[in-house]
Amino acid sequence: MIKITRAASEFINKSSKQQSAVESDTSEGLRIAVYPDKANSCFSYGFGFDKKRSEDDMFKVASIKLIIAKEQAELLQDTTIDYVQMDNGQMNLIVLNPNDPSYVPPRKNKHEKN
């Protein structure tokens, strides 16, 4: 199961509406792709609005329709998608995937409760 934070959901919904206003051929959902990089022991990710194909799974999470290639579903199990401010001040979608060989769990803010 993939989780999407509120911040990521709001960003994705806003982006979807902007894309729909530009393109007459609306997409069915947000495609998430994972690209294992065995040489560097890490995963890369891709996002884009797309239509479901026969080799895809589609499901709804936090009001977002997600499209994932069936052969990639296991690699994305227990993943969280968030929208956060980076060190450079820019906002980005990030993928927190415990299946990624380079995954490091986020540090808890000292003000957060366990």
Strand duo 29-37 + 42-50: pairing: antiparallel
Spatial distance between the Cα atoms of 23 and 76, rounded to a whole number of angstroms? 29
91, with CB counted inside 10 A (0-12, 13-18, 19+), is: exposed
Among 57, 61, 59, 52, smallest CA distance to 26 is for 52
For residue range 27-42, list pLDDT tens digits in order.
789 999 999 998 889 9
Among 94, 90, 110, 93, smallest CA distance to 102 is for 94
Quote the pLDDT of residue 86. Answer: 85
Domain range annotation of the chain: 3-96
Mean pLDDT of 78-93: 92
For residue range 34-77, list pLDDT tens digits in order.
999 988 899 999 999 999 999 999 999 988 999 999 999 999 99
Which CATH number describes the domain made up of 3-96? 2.60.300.12
